[in-house]
């Protein structure tokens, strides 16, 4: 088991830079999520860690050893492919034992190991079946079996649930997480599904256009996004952005929006010009006493809560409120924002402005 440190990792494909100067640390035993939209360089990053792709520059440390230019076979890492890549000409048992054969392990020992792994994964009864006819879930388990049988230093998984249907994904993700908790092996998991990342990950790195936008534990990333991109990518519905032109000074704990003054966490960074006031939908509440008004555009009923779309002077926003709140489309409502949850962003750079509240999260990143 191992700690993985990525330093200034970069990958160019010809003129195109797929991964730009990425740095982050994966602690020993962590379930680590690489999250980002399609084409942002997640797979490329994972493949560089595994040794399937050589970085253009930068360093990768696995267990303290710099491995960026080493062969995949020398890194002692297992990789679970999106389409599983089970060897089609072998049966389940042969697939799982294949990595052990390359190490020249004696037959009897291989047999014992395969049996042990099959037991953990609950696939003892399909060991002698060809992989061709297996269901998606069983293929997934065989692919996992082939990965864990070697007891590698770390697991790389590239959207391992992507090939499964929605219903089964949920089940498999629980199974995967349980397996991880049981074995405690460092796991790097690629996904573009922010919900999956939030649910399963100990830590998340959010990537966009080849760069790391933010890295940290799910709750912190959700509460204190480092950039407009992260704020928008994570959460459904995502964070609301109220655009305004104004200024905040260092030490300010109020900001003025369309003539209304709102309490915000104390700012540690001054900024002026085009700014963005960010608030999560669940921190917006309706109160007719408020002078900041908006018009209800739509109502989405979700059982215990409802999501209300409101047009305000600073743009459209969504509020997640209790279903009991009575509102109607077209109604004028007063809006209140929970002051301790507000993030301000500089619109031109997209970066969050440092405040008393988010400094703990953003400082280390």
Partner 1 sequence: MSGFSVTEPSQRQKWIAGLLVITYAMVTLMPLLWIIATGFKSPEDAISYPPKVLFEPSLEGYVNLFSSRTRITTGMQESLQPAETWYEQVARDSGTIIVGPSRYGQRFLNSVVIGFGSTFLAIVFGTMAAYAFSRFKVPIKDDLLFFILSTRMMPPIAVAIPIFLMFRQLGLNDTQLGMILLYTAVNLSLSVWLLKGFIDEIPFEYEEAALIDGYTRFQAFYKVVLPQAATGIASTAIFCLIFAWNEYAFAVLLTSGNAQTAPPFIPTIIGVGGQDWPAVAAGATIFLIPVMIFTILLRKHLLRGITFGAVRK
Ligand X SMILES: Nc1ncnc2c1ncn2[C@@H]1O[C@H](COP(=O)(O)OP(=O)(O)OP(=O)(O)O)[C@@H](O)[C@H]1O
Interacting residue ranges for ligand X, rule: CB under 6 A: 13, 16, 18, 36, 38-44, 192
Q: Which does 349 bind (CB under 5 to 8 A by kind): Mg ion, partner 1, ligand X, none?
A: none
Distance CA(91)–CA(198), nearest Å, equals: 35
Among 33, 62, 77, 234, binds partner 1 (CB under 8 A): 77
Q: Binders of partner 1: how many residues, by CB under 8 A?
A: 22
**Minimum CB–partner distance for residue 156 and partner 1 (Å):** 8
**Cα–Cα distance between 305 and 307 in angstroms, integer?**
7
Site string for partner 1, 138-167 (x = CB under 8 A): --------x---x-----------------
Pick from 100, 316, 43, 362: which is nearest to 213 by CA? 362
Token match 């003892």: residue? 124
Q: What is the DSSP letter of 325?
A: S
Closest approach of Mg ion to the CB of residue 139, in Å: 19
Q: Which residues contact 318 (CB under 8 A, 6 or more apart)?
A: 237, 240, 281, 284, 307, 308, 309, 310
254's tokens: 């109020």
Pick 147 or 275: Cβ nearer partner 1: 147
**Quick one: 104 or 259, whose CB is closer to partner 1?**
104
Q: What phi and psi, each to the nearest 5 degrees, are found at residue 174?
A: -65, -45
Please tell me whether residue 68 binds Mg ion under the rule CB under 5 A.
Answer: no
* CB closer to Mg ion, 10 vs 111: 10
Work out the burial of residue 62: count CB atoms within 10 Å of its CB; fewer than 13 is exposed, 13-18 middle, 19 or more buried.
Answer: buried
Strand order in the sheet with 343-346: 240-248, 271-279, 343-346
Q: Residue 205 has which token pair?
A: 């790195």
Q: CB neighbours of 165 closer than 8 A, spacing ≥ 6?
A: 136
Q: Quick one: which of 32, 79, 292, 337 contacts partner 1 (CB under 8 A)? A: 79
Q: State which residue, 77 or 204, has the beta carbon closest to partner 1.
A: 77
Q: For partner 1, which residue of 14, 15, 38, 103 counts as binding (CB under 8 A)?
A: 103
Indicate whether 54 belongs to the interface with partner 1 (CB under 8 A).
no
The residue with tokens 């953003």 is 362
Min dist. Cβ of residue 221 to ligand X (A): 18
Q: How far is the CB of 68 from Mg ion (least distance, A)?
A: 20
**Is the CB of 1 or the CB of 83 nearer to partner 1?**
83
Binding map of Mg ion across residues 43-62, x = CB under 5 A, - = no contact: x-------------------
For the record, the structure tokens of 168 come out as 């089964």
Q: Which of Mg ion, ligand X, partner 1, none does residue 102 bind to, with CB < 5 to 8 Å depending on kind?
A: partner 1
Q: How far apart are CA 155 and CA 180, in angstroms?
A: 10
**CA 136 – CA 277 distance, rounded (Å):** 44
Q: Candidates 58, 99, 145, 201: give the one binding partner 1 (CB under 8 A).
A: 99
Query: Could you tell which of partner 1, Mg ion, ligand X, none binds residue 40, using a CB distance below 5 to 8 A set by kind?
Result: ligand X
């Amino acid at each position: 088991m191992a700690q993985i440190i990525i330093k200034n990792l970069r990958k160019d494909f010809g003129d195109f830079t797929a991964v730009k100067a990425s740095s982050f640390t994966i602690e020993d035993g962590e379930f680590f999520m690489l999250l980002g939209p399609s084409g942002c360089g997640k797979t490329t990053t994972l493949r560089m860690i595994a040794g399937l792709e050589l970085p253009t520059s930068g360093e990768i440390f696995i267990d303290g050893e710099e491995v960026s230019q080493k062969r995949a076979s020398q890194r002692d890492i297992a990789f679970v492919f999106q389409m599983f890549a089970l060897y089609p000409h072998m049966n389940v048992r042969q697939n799982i034992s294949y990595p052990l054969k390359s190490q020249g392990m004696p037959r009897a020992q291989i047999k014992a190991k395969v049996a042990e792994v099959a037991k953990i994964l609950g696939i003892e009864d399909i060991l002698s079946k060809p992989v061709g006819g297996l269901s998606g879930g069983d293929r997934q388990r065989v692919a996992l079996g082939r990965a864990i049988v070697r007891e590698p230093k770390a697991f790389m998984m590239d959207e391992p649930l992507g090939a499964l249907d929605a219903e089964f994904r949920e089940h498999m993700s629980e199974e995967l997480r349980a397996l991880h908790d049981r074995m405690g092996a460092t796991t790097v998991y690629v996904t573009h599904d922010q919900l999956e990342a939030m649910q399963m990950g100990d830590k998340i790195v959010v990537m966009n256009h080849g760069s790391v936008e933010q890295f940290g534990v799910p709750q912190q990333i959700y509460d204190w996004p480092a950039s407009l991109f992260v704020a928008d990518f994570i959460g459904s519905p995502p964070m609301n952005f109220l655009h305004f032109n104004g200024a905040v000074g260092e030490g300010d704990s109020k900001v003025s929006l369309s003539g209304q003054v709102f309490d915000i966490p104390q700012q540690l960074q001054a900024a002026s010009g085009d700014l963005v006031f960010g608030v999560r939908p669940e921190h917006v509440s309706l109160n007719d006493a408020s002078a900041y008004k908006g018009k209800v555009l739509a109502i989405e009923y979700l059982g215990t809560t409802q999501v209300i779309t409101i047009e305000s002077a600073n743009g459209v926003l969504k509020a997640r409120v209790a279903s009991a709140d009575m509102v109607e489309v077209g109604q004028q409502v007063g809006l209140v924002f929970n002051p301790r949850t507000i993030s301000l962003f500089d619109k031109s750079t997209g970066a969050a402005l440092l405040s008393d509240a988010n400094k703990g999260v953003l400082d280390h990143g």
